[in-house]
Amino acid sequence: MTSKERVLAALRHQQPDAVPVDFGSTAVTGIHVQIIAALRDHYGLEKKLVKAHEPYQMLGTIDEDLKKVLGIDLEGVVPPETMFGFRNENWRPWRLDSGLEVLVPENFKITKEPNGDTLIYPKGDLSAPASGRMPKNGFFFDSIIRQPPIVEEELDPWDNQEEFTPISDADLDYFEAEVKAKAKTGRAVMATFGGMAFGDIALVPAPFLKHPKGIRDIEEWYVTTLTRPS
């Protein structure tokens, strides 16, 4: 079986020739940059900086040589923008507190707090309130809750939908090109489209928006399902 056939058989609840392997095709099957770097060292692969394509969890890009070693059966098409709202382009080096140097996108803009925490900013805009925090010696970012004051009589469900807009023609072209390119590998292709995860608790705080409106506090979001059912 090819990788694609193996994955499709499993999805059809048929018996494949082997258990399909997926590392890195989605945000929930990704690998931390630190682990990717360690795996490359373990298998004696070329020394190179890992790209942190999703800085929220500090997930790294798995290059072809490591994919072959691990026997990966899926190719991921990551969204053109990160969870912090800037595009994956124009890569530059950055060093974690652990000492590992990785590659991050151009608009991966950060500041350091006096206590050593790292703050990151939506759209790479340092004039906006920081939307993520990596504790000193930490390995990934947590969302910073930026809940505006709640005025009950002014609550509008549409405020929590401001980020759910039509996918642009440019992004559709990007996904089409990426899917075609990934399909040529012979692996199954898994594409993650943005703007389709209403209620995803990781997205409720909207770390990609400079000034999110609506209910953006995670606890408040859960409480609202009970106290504001309409």
Residue-range domain boundaries for the chain? 3-227
Q: What is the pLDDT of residue 159?
A: 93
Question: What's the whole-model pTM score?
Answer: 0.92
Question: Mean of the pLDDT values across residues 141-162?
Answer: 92
Q: Give the separation between CA 42 and CA 50, rounded to whole angstroms.
A: 15
Question: Mean of the pLDDT values across residues 35-41?
Answer: 98
Contact, 33 vs 60, CB < 8 A?
A: yes
85 has a pLDDT exceeding 90: yes
Contact, 23 vs 62, CB < 8 A?
A: yes
- Please name the residues in contact with 57: beta carbons below 8 A apart, sequence gap of 6 or more: 27, 30, 32, 140, 141
CA distances from 107 to 79, 119, 161, 170, 176 (A): 16, 13, 25, 19, 24
